[in-house]
Amino acid sequence: MGSTRLRFRFLIVILEVICVGVSGFAHAKDETVNLTLKQVLCMAVERNLEVKAELFSPAMYEAEIRKNRGIYDPTMTLSTIYQQATTQPASSLLAGASISRQKNYQANAGIKQFVPSGGTVGLSFNNLWNRNNSDSSRGFLNEYWQSDLMLTYTQPLLKNFGRETTESVISVAVNNKEASLDQFRSKLMDVVTRSRIAYYTLYSLKENLEAKRIALALARKILEDTKGRVRAGVLPAMEILNAEYGVAAREKELIDAEKSMRDQMDVVRFLLQIDGSPDVRPIDPPIRDEYPVDENEAISRALVMRPDLRSLRTNLKTAELQTRVAQNRMMPELDFVGSAALTGLGSDYGHDLEKIGSADNPVWSVGLHLTYPIGNRDAKNTLIKSRLNSEQIRVHLKNLEDTIRNEIKIAVRGIRTSYLQLDVADRGLAYAEERLRAYVKKNEVGLATTKEVVDVQNDLVAAKANQIKAQTEYTIAIGQLWKATGEVLEREGITLNGKEADALYDSISR
């Protein structure tokens, strides 16, 4: 039952953050389902298990942040003890002193708290009741209360001094959460890009299937026309074989196209976790308009927006913080220690408290405590390791920046090349259609054989396939650039408010 509630709460988080404004999706099994790209992206993000799993990491770091902030939680102590003792003083063996009998009762309370400077402040209230068999005629109290109200403060002056060192564990957890949110964003970008490619691939395969059906219908018409002209004695009988070969070739292409389309539809259904076997029909066509792109501007955007780059920069920030903390912990421990107390003593508890309230018997002290490790190899090598880690991350960062620049160049080149190929494919299709019309007319008057017509039709089928492929590759190339620059989520209207992990944390903590 708890697992069901968790899944429901998680679904609410994803839907509220990512799928705002997208209409609900429902379908009966085995019917045709028309899907826009927006719906596909929303469904993929909502249902993808990789995305769900990735969001738990920043949520766990949120728990780590709140746990580490607990260093500032006050700590209260309460203690009580009763003691009864019967002792024989050493002097009694020589002078015949009486046996000492005492009863003690202690009740103490205290509270202490860590402060941002690295120090600790404490307040304690201690109470002691004592009864003994002392000789009261000699000025000794044989029953009394003794109490004190004490304020203490300890402040590191060298090692562990300062807010940065004190809150280093909190800062590291905050940075880790920030980096994990960028990793979550990277996972979203990957899922969105894969879903986008799957969507337009299915669209192109459906277009290709329809083109193959039209080609088969045309081949069958050529066959019927050829049979008619053979019966009329205009063409020799062998032309029927050429026409039938053309039909058989078109039928094979149709079967292959049907299989490819069905395979891709299964990929989409699996990606979207769609139950049953509905006929998924993409309705958003690929992009055909020229997409202007400036390579330098794209590189600049990528160096700012890429979540993997931001995550690595955050890791560098964490490593540099840990280096500064390690540098601080190379110093010896020199602590300032101070205390001040109001004390009381009385034959009864009320008189004892009156003495404390009068502040007639104050006690205070100040001092320094020095600890100096000989050799200090632990701290030295911790610092060296931290510096090495920082340098390693800087190298990774430089490598990633160079990789991003290269990815942008490839993506920009891909867009420009794909757009040129799209224009070439459009012109090639137009020429192929015109050639087929011309050869059909020539065939009708006996100036072209059926085999020549079939060959020209093959060229038309290839030209149509090239056009479908070109427009799909152009659209995919644009998406690859968006992924390379880190802006694919914004381009597709998917927004993150940065509170996704907090919402998941809150849903678990209730």
Nearest to 204 by CA among 300, 291, 268: 268
> Model-level pTM?
0.82
Amino acid 30: pLDDT? 57
Sign of CA dihedral 14, 15, 20, 22: positive
pLDDT band at residue 242 under the 50/70/90 scheme: confident
Q: Once rounded to an integer, what is the mean pLDDT over residues 468-483?
A: 94
Express each pLDDT in 376-390 by its tens digit.
999 999 999 999 999
| Residue 8 pLDDT | 38
Share above pLDDT 70 across residues of the chain, in percent, rounded to a whole number: 91
Q: 326-380: per-residue pLDDT in tens?
A: 999 999 999 999 999 999 998 899 998 999 999 888 999 999 999 999 989 999 9
CB atoms within 10 A of CB 95: 8
3-state secondary structure 11-55: HHHHHHHHCCCCCCCCCCCCCEEEECHHHHHHHHHHHCHHHHHHH
Specify the pLDDT at position 237: 87
Domains of the chain: 2-24+34-47+170-317+387-509 (1.20.1600.10), 75-87+97-114+119-159+333-371 (no CATH)
Residue 19 has pLDDT above 80, yes or no: no
Average pLDDT, the chain: 88
Instruction: Give the pLDDT confidence of 317-328 residue by residue, as tens digits.
Output: 999 999 999 999
Window from 2-16, 35-49, 98-112, 482-496 with minimum mean pLDDT: 2-16
